[in-house]
Structure 1
Amino acid sequence: MRRESWLLLVTLAFVAAAIAFWLTRATVLTVGVAPSGGTEPALLRAYAETSVTRRSGIRLEIVRFDGVRESAEALAAGKVDLAVVRPDIAMPPNGLTLAVLRELAVILAIKEGGPVRGFSDLGGRRLGMLAERISDRPLVAALLERYGLELRPDAASAAVPEEAVALVPLAEEELGPALAAGRVDAAMLVTTPASPGARRLVKLLDEAAGDRSLLLLGIPDAAAVVATSPKLQAVTVPAGLFGGDPRLPEEDLSTVGSSYRLMARASLSRSVAAEVTQHIFEHRADVAARAPAADDITFPAYDTTAVATTARLPNHPGAIDYFEREQESFIERYESWIYLVAIFGGGLGSAFAWLRQTLFRIRRERIQVATARLLAIRSEATRVSDPERLRSIADEVDSIAANIARQALNRRADWRLVEAASIAIDAARSTLARALAAARR
């Protein structure tokens, strides 16, 4: 019984340790990051490193992609758990927003008194854009299409028709001089307004324009654009964000833009999604020391929980749980497992009790059989006169007595059975002693 008890206790301890390890282990999530060379890969890599150094319950495993289209496709195919997504380029059908990594705004930069006074004047003109921002071109083309204009990447060196806009790709340091010299009639910026890169670019344009003649324009009827293009969002650029005297912009600038979002697959549990979102925002200050883009992270704007969960750019319910401070408790998260463990533990306890009863009954039966044999030996000894046979019976009595003693020492036994067996041993030995004495005479 002692061996069986230890075996059962070791099994229970192993099961308990396995359950504890499973409940406390870090959750490893794969994150598709893009675009290559952008700010998001460095940002998510910093978060992945922080999850290790802070011993967070979440571990992020980075999977790199060349562009946000590829990362969105990987999320849609279930190859990653999280992904950097830009909705206006590719929106995975199973993608739900955890956080907005950065918001983009479309800003038109022109010279005061120049030929372009707004979007409607861009027909037949040349439009400068950063050459490396190829992913921004579809967004600009879609906005120009609202004015009946076509963005033509290959018409920069030829006469531009009135119904077209010639795209002139330029490096950052070339954009300002090109606008000042008239090689482009306007410059289109698709950028995060509050970022250092945006401030640097506007400063270069302002210095190149000279005499403080740079003007920044937004998108007219931004609300109407967003209503017809649900993957975009309305953006307000605060007056004076880029400094200057007069300030740039002169007043609040209403425009449209897109966003880079950290999205999770819809099948990711609410508790894990809430934990990831908590990790993103609680460690933002720490990550910003290595990746300044962390300062641009924000939550998806919404007024009510109903609005958040029914938005055209859908949000993960787990993220909303974190924002609303309604995260699941430990009991709520593992309620099913706790019930299963309780049921399983109850079953093991019942099995242990049954095993103990069975073994105890077997021991009782063994002592009862041995006692019955001793009584049978006593009866047999009265009928035997052969000394050799009597000595053989005496050896059997000694063997039975030894076995009963071992049972009593090593296993818990009924004291009444042991006492009866002891009386039977004494009786058998007494009868054998008289029989041997009579045989010798």
Structure 2
Amino acid sequence: MNLDVKRLFARSASGDPDLVQPPRPRSPRSAKRRLMFVTLAGLLALVGAVAAAYYFAMRPVTLRIAVGPANSEDVKVVQTLTQAFVPARGQIRLRPMQTDGAKASAQALAEGKADLAIIRGDLDVPKNAQAVATLRKNVAVLWVPPATKAKGNKAAPKITKIVQLAGRRIGVVGRTEANVNLLKLILQQYGVDPAKVEIVQFPAHEAAEAIRNQKADAYLAAGPVNSKITADAIAASIRDGGVPTFLAIDSARAIAQNHPFYEVSEIPAGAFGGSSARPEEEIKTISFSHHIVARKGLPEATVATFTRQLFAVRQTLKTDFPLAAQIETPDTDKDAVLPVHPGAAAYVDGEEKTFFERYGDFIWWGLMGLSAMGSAGAWFAGYLKKDERHNNSTLRERLLDMIATARRSDSTEELDQMQTEADDILRDTLRCFEHGTIEEGSLTAFNIALDQFHNAVADRKAVLMNMPQSLQRASAQFRAAGTL
């Protein structure tokens, strides 16, 4: 609706030198424009907030992973995964933290220095560790090198059973104390006092040479079935064409029942290759796992994303890096020895949440909060304008009273004063409209009242101009007397 503001002012008496000049107010629609701009700004702010939340939720996260010792197969696997995660443009990046071994890696996780760690399942697992994946399964291999041939006689193996290891020297491949503890556990299961056995450890890279030099009577190695270290150590045991004797751990089930982190396993015939199948037949043994574990407090979404990326790159790496093919999903059963992280379980069970499933509640409540804040702001703004509306309503009532007063007035001076007052009321009304205090309908009603006032003033001035001065004075005196 177009309101002619100039026409409202022009209805004042013509030729009056005290006529108030009309201000130059902005368009009546400016309040709506401002509201539109404020609404648009709010929407842009909301979109920006959602975009920022999406960016921070989807930005790459770097996880520290503890692994050791140096030059081990575990380190090589982690380094390969670290490099594979970069071109994959995934949300997770890895930062390897080299340690002295699986025990030190577990300690780093327990102290919160690492987010992930590679640990042995048969060591003390930190209370805050939860399984993400099984890196590999290791088997315990016990064997005895062939006896040295005596001149003219064919030597036979002196040791064929574990109980015969008492009083012997046993070599352990690898410097970790965990392998020594594993050997002691096996000996105790067969009633052999570890104190009556001489245990000698050899670094993995020196094991083959030590075996060739006959440093021990029997040997223990722990690693994957296809471990090159174990295969080389067994190959170094061959003497004068004789093949080593493998000692079966027939009590594997009893060991597994007493120590749940061990499992009953078998070494397939011919697992260690060579010119003759080694071993010649399947050997019963025990196994344990190396796990990729995560801190318990690590966000579920982060671990789920890492697990998804891990198994995605495993498929692409297993051709060029066979060790990656040994990575398996964790045990998600509730009674698992090592509890699974909820994020890894969500991936394995196909229950991984999408972005909106994870943050939908926050977005919804954020929108509800913004709506509530907007409603509260509108109410507060209206409350602040309450006095201004009341004042303008009083002025409008005053204008209506002035219409009746103008029709009875006997003085042009009085009419001019009322017209000046009407101009002030008009100025106040237009200001209220600009501020959004009154609506366009109220301005229309005020326009009608102002028209009626100007008509009353003009009509009364016309009557007074045609009335003799003496009659005007008499009428004024009569009215003044009537008010006494």
Tell me how far 1:93 sits from its aligned partner.
2.3
Give the CA RMSD over aligned residues.
4.0
Does residue 67 (structure 1) correspond to residue 101 (structure 2)? The answer is yes
Are the counterparts in 2 of residues 127 and 166 from structure 1 also a CA contact under 8 Å? yes
Encode CA deviations 1:294-334: one digit per residue, 9 max, x unaligned. 23211246xxx6xx221223333443343333434556544
Structure 1 position 211 matched with structure 2 position 241: yes
Residue 129 in structure 1 maps to residue 172 in structure 2: yes
Among the aligned pairs, what percent are the same residue? 27
Residues 102-181 of structure 1 mapped to structure 2, 5 A cutoff? 102-112=136-146, 113-149=156-192, 151=194, 164-172=196-204, 174-181=206-213
2:451 is aligned to: 426
Report what 2:340 is aligned to.
315
One-letter amino acid matched to 2:165 = L
The residue number in structure 2 matching 1:96 is 130
The structure-2 alpha-carbon separation of the partners of 1:60 and 1:372, relative to structure 1 and needing over 3 Å to count, comes to: farther
SS at match of 1:299: coil
Paired residues in the alignment total 422
**What secondary structure sits across from 1:283 in the alignment?**
helix
Describe the superposition over 1:338-357 as per-residue Cα deviations: whole angstroms up to 9, x where unpaired. 55346435534644675687
Q: Secondary structure at the match of 2:221?
A: strand
For residue 327 of structure 1, give the secondary structure of its aligned residue in structure 2: coil
8 Å contact kept, 2:101–2:176? no
* Letter in structure 2 aligned against 1:184: A
Cross-structure match for 2:118: 84
The separation in 2 between residues aligned to 1:330 and 1:167, in whole angstroms, is 55
Change (3 A) 1:108 1:406: same
Q: Is the 8 A contact 1:72 1:84 kept in 2?
A: yes
Query: Is the aligned partner of 1:14 residue 2:45?
Result: yes
Gaps of 5+ in 2: 1-30, 147-155, 470-484
What are the equivalent positions in structure 2 for 1:39-54 lying under 5 Å apart?
A: 39-54=73-88
More deviation, 184-193/216-225: 216-225
Q: Given the alignment of the two structures, is residue 25 of structure 1 paired with residue 68 of structure 2, yes or no?
A: no
Moved more, 11-20 or 99-108: 11-20
Q: Which residue of 1 aligns with 2:216?
A: 184
Deviation at 1:221, TM superposition (A): 1.7
CA shift in 2, pair 1:338/1:34, >3 Å: same
**Superposed counterparts of 1:392-407, under 5 Å:** 394-402=419-427, 404-405=429-430
Distance in 2 separating the partners of 1:63 and 1:175:
27
Q: For structure 1, which segment, 411-420 or 30-39, has the greater mean C-alpha deviation from structure 2 after superposition?
A: 411-420
Amino acid corresponding to residue 22 of structure 1 in structure 2:
A
- After superposing the two structures, state which structure 1 stretch, 70-79 or 404-413, moved more: 404-413
- Return the TM-score normalized by structure 2: 0.71
Question: Counterpart of 1:156?
Answer: none
Q: Does residue 372 of the first structure (1) align with residue 403 of the second (2)?
A: no
Distance 2:394 2:84 in 1: 70
Equivalences for residues 247-326 of structure 1 within 5 A: 247-268=277-298, 270-286=300-316, 293-300=323-330, 308-326=333-351
Q: Which has the larger radius of gyration?
A: 2
1:155 maps to: none
Report deviation, 1:99: 0.7
> What SS does the corresponding residue of 2:199 show, helix, strand or coil?
strand
Counterpart for residue 369 of structure 2: 344
Q: Is the 8 A contact 2:172 2:179 kept in 1?
A: no
Picking from 59, 67, 70, the partner of 1:34 is 67
Q: Which residue of 2 aligns with 1:193?
A: 225
Structure 1, gaps ≥5 residues long: 152-162
Report how far residue 239 of structure 1 moved: 2.0
| Residue 101 of structure 1: how far off its partner (Å) | 1.0
Which range moves more in the overlay, 11-20 or 247-256? 11-20
Specify whether residues 255 and 402 from structure 1 end up closer, same or farther in structure 2 by C-alpha distance, changes over 3 A only.
same
In 1: Cα distance, 2:280 partner to 2:359 partner: 55
* Cα distance between partner residues in 2 of 1:384 and 1:221: 127
CA distance in 1, matches of 2:222, 2:348: 29
Instruction: Output the CA distance in 1 between the equivalents of 2:435 and 2:337.
Output: 74
TM-score by length of 1: 0.77
SS in 2 for 1:242: coil
1:171 deviates by: 4.3
